[in-house]
Structure 1
Amino acid sequence: MLRSLIATVTTVVATLSAVTAAHAAPPDASDQDKAFLVSAHQDNLTEIEGGQTAERQAESQAVKDAGSRLVKDHTTLDEQVTKVAAKYGVDLPGRPSEKQQAELRKFAAKSGAAFDRAWVPAQAEDHRATLVALDKEASTGSSEKVRQLARDAKPVVKEHLDLMESIQSGG
């Protein structure tokens, strides 16, 4: 009888521990999810810095305004990325990748119409690539939170692409 009671109590404790652990933390994010969070964060940092450069160095008011919009929207998107990354214990880098930093330096060296001609098409290309990455994560990511983050970011990134294409076409 005592052995039966001890076995029952042990089973109940193990079950309660598993239930409590499951509710205490989200399931682990996959390597793909973690890589997406790091990449999205670095992309946001790049867009924020690039937008600030556009605000200062662009000739066209449309490009300056686009820069302001990127700063605002990517700051908001990055707040969400940072929150989700924290839930999964993903350490985010403090700056863009080396390649992104080189691109930012290239634009920082330009001003006026030369800046506008270089920055706008590069932004269109970057946002097209980001849409592909968002679609991939939304459809094949493991974490529902990370997949939702990708789905939520997509319309904002699409608006930025449309904005850059409109500026390119003189609209």
Structure 2
Amino acid sequence: MGGALGMTLTSLLYPAMLGVQKVSNAPERVVAKPATGPLTEADRDFVVQVRSAGLWEYPVGRKAAKKGTTKAVRSAGQHLADTDASLDAACRDVAVQLGIALPNQPSPLQQTFESRLNGESGKQFDADLATTVRATSGQLLTTIASVRTTTRNSLVRALADQANDTVLAHITVMEKTGLVDFGQALAQETASPDLPAQDLTPPPAVAGQPQIALTPSADSTASPSPTVR
């Protein structure tokens, strides 16, 4: 994997870094006061980020489940799609209760990344998938930890708990493929972004547009965690 992959990963990782920065810089910026506890700007950004991550990982996982060249890659892809669908269901439920508007598309850069993987096949696709998901999941895990330890909202805590389990499982299944380039993945987790905000933010859903729901496979064992109300 060359420089092009490195540049793409740097771009895609920034939304996760943005979440960490907002938690660090403004943990007390309250935007709403629901019964489940004060909701900060960082909490709101985190819910949107969970949604955005699933919107690009889910279709890539479905592709891997069908076109991966090894059983491990196909299994990892199916796991990615099913667990993202489960987490997305919980995310949408939390968003409704907290009045958070969710996107129907990932960020422009995430869309570009998804398109690039869709254009790949064979071993190149397998290797890029494993390294990219490992890198982005590692970054998101840091964001989850920051939000989980600072939020005062019980719904956000419950979502962070499920997201933590889901993302850690993503890391594990990608590593089990034996295709992760750890040097590349770790470099991308710590890369400093230099990108315009409009490329890093998922576009808002069009008014009146039905909310897209990610659907698990018929034999999926993943299910949304009980929601704290």
Using the TM superposition, name which of 86-95 and 46-55 deviates more: 46-55
1:115 aligned to 91, 101, 125, which one?
Answer: 125
Q: Distance in 2 between matches of 1:75 and 1:104?
A: 17
Higher RCO, Cα 8 Å, sep 6+: 2
**Distance across 2 between alignment mates of 1:94 and 1:105:** 16
Higher helix share: 1
Alignment check: 8 A CA contact 1:121 1:168 kept: no
How far residue 69 of structure 1 moved from its aligned partner, in angstroms, is 0.7
Distance 1:95 1:77 in 2: 16
- Per the normalisation by structure 2, the TM-score is 0.60
CA apart distance, 1:153: 2.0
Instruction: Provide the C-alpha distance between the structure 2 equivalents of 1:88 and 1:149, rounded to a whole number of angstroms.
Output: 12
Give 2:185's aligned residue. none
> 2:72 touches 2:176 (CA, 8 Å); kept in 1?
no
Confirm whether residue 131 of structure 1 aligns to residue 128 of structure 2.
no
**Paired letter, 1:56:** K
Q: Which residue of 2 aligns with 1:74?
A: 84
Contact 2:126 2:179 in 1 (8 A): no
- Give ranges in structure 1 of 5+ residues lacking alignment: 1-21
Instruction: Report the secondary structure of 1:168's partner residue.
Output: coil
Q: Say what the alpha-carbon RMSD is for the aligned residues.
A: 1.9
CA distance in 2, matches of 1:81, 1:36: 10
Who is 1:19 aligned against?
A: none
1:34 aligns with 2:44: yes
Check whether the contact 1:26–1:87 (CA below 8 A) recurs between aligned residues: no
Deviations for 1:7-37, whole angstroms, at most 9, x for unmatched residues?
Answer: xxxxxxxxxxxxxxx9x85455211111101
Runs of 4+ in 1 over 6 A off after TM superposition: none
Q: Which runs of 5+ in 2 are unaligned?
A: 1-32, 181-229
Shift of 1:47: 1.4
Instruction: Provide the rounded CA distance (Å) in 2 between the counterparts of 1:27 and 1:137.
Output: 14
CA drift at 1:126: 1.2
Q: How does 1:96-115 map to 2 (within 5 A)?
A: 96-115=106-125
Q: Match for residue 150 of structure 1?
A: 160
Give the equivalent residue in structure 1 for 2:176.
Answer: 166
The structure with more radius of gyration: 1
Q: If the length of structure 1 is used for normalisation, what is the TM-score?
A: 0.80
Contact between 1:80 and 1:149, CA under 8 Å: does it hold in 2?
yes
Partner AA of 1:86 in structure 2 = V
Aligned length: 148
Aligned-partner SS, 1:92: coil
> Secondary structure of the residue that 1:78 maps to in structure 2?
helix
